[in-house]
Structure 1
Amino acid sequence: MSTLLAAIIDQQKIMAEKTIQFIQISPDQLQEAIVDGVKIELQRLQENFQPKHPDELMTRNEVKDFLKVDLSTVHNWTKKGKLKSYGLGHRIYYKRSEVEKAIIPLNND
């Protein structure tokens, strides 16, 4: 019986630690404080928020023109894995960001 009583007392202590008492604050003041806190957090979120921009898709001809190479070169680079292609139906597309990343700097020492 004493272990059960000890367990009940421990549970009451835990619940007492989680209880918040508002003394000398009206419900309107509490609501205003919560709204102000939410507004501040939303402002912080807006300042740090970076919307995700969808990748621009390019056709094979657009990639060819962008890189100033022949269409067969785009095809060969795709087969070798230098460029990653995406398909939709019978169409082939490339992500502009990935085409730009495929351009590597040369060491001209």
Structure 2
Amino acid sequence: MPFTDTYATVEPSRAQVDALPGLTVLEFGAPWCAHCRAAQPLVAQALAPMPQVRHIRIEDGPGRPLGRSFRVKLWPTLIAVRDGVELARAVRPATVDAVAGLLPSA
């Protein structure tokens, strides 16, 4: 499941995320967020050569439990997890390299 350009309005539970096998990039943000929109081409470019990496865009906001469980405070926040373990995160990435730096060899 490579790059997705739509936000999941129904977020998975933390237990579901923790149970995902392999490498996953969680992207927390909102469709109206200017920082999130600016980061989209960077995320797409960084993930393009890695179609095996699961990408889940999650519409975040106050009271959304998944974002709070990862202590997300600013958007976009990208978190790389492998088999339920956080590997790295990027907050408001401004370059393709900032996003690609999240991705160890998948």
TM-score, normalised with respect to structure 2: 0.25
Q: Which protein is richer in helix relative to its size?
A: 1
- Structure of greater Rg: 1
Q: Which protein is richer in strand relative to its size?
A: 2
